[in-house]
Amino acid sequence: MEAAITFEASKRDNSGTGSARALRREGKVPAVIYGEDKDAVSVAIDANAVTTHYTRGGFFSSLIKIDAGSESFMALPKDIQLHPVSDKVLHVDFVHVTDKSEIHVLIPVKISGRERSKGLRRGGALNVVRHELELVCKPNNIPKAIQLDISNVDIGDSIHISHIELPEGVRPAISDRDFTIATITGRGKKQDADDAAGDATAAGEGEAKKAE
């Protein structure tokens, strides 16, 4: 497995609020690695490194290598605790994974083809129902993004998960329905123009009747 991020860490034996505060004063973030039938491992990671990668986005779908002394762990971020006021990273939970693990990840949906979209050019509006997709895959097969081309999508059309060609070995976590990812709504410029013309004709006929 090839990690997207590598963190240098040190193991820690002490736990509790006092120990965590002391680590944060040293510019480190307390973290725990658990799962895969292994005992939980407590580590301390450089706070700046964690904050940098977290704020870039895609943190929870990034495979991370944690080097802690003589041991290395492949892990996926599971949860992060932030300070309620400053938003500083206070604690991170990681799940230990292997190349055989099946993991759930949230992958962003990237929209393309806006300038060529039939529906948008006719005056429709794009409604993105899901900006992220929860997918199931192996750690070495995590997609960076799911591309959604709306070039041929017209007003009234919906794009469902069945319309998306997912990478090999990747499947949606929701399997009991063909859920919607995006739609294009609106009446369209042509229909609006036809309605306006119809209204004008009706108004003219009404005025003519009054004149009679």
User: Residues 9-39: pLDDT tens digits?
Assistant: 998 876 666 778 888 889 999 999 998 677 8
pLDDT at 92 > cutoff 90 = yes
pLDDT average, residue stretch 55-77: 92
pLDDT of residue 122: 93
Distance CA 204, CA 157 (A): 36
Which tokens belong to 154? Answer: 């017209």
Confidence bin at 3 (pLDDT 50/70/90): confident
Question: In terms of DSSP H, where are the helices of the chain?
Answer: 17-25, 47-56, 118-121, 189-211
User: Residues 112-164: pLDDT tens digits?
Assistant: 999 999 999 999 999 999 999 999 999 989 999 999 999 999 999 999 999 99
pLDDT at 188 > cutoff 80 = no
Domains of the chain: 5-98 (2.40.240.10), 104-191 (2.170.120.20)
Beta-strand pair 125-128/180-185: antiparallel
Distance CA 31, CA 90 (A): 9
In three state form, how does the secondary structure of 163-199 look? Answer: HCCCCCCCEECCCCCCCEEEEEECCCHHHHHHHHHHH
Q: Which residues, in sequence order, are bridge partners of residue 67?
A: 8, 72
pTM (two decimals) = 0.75
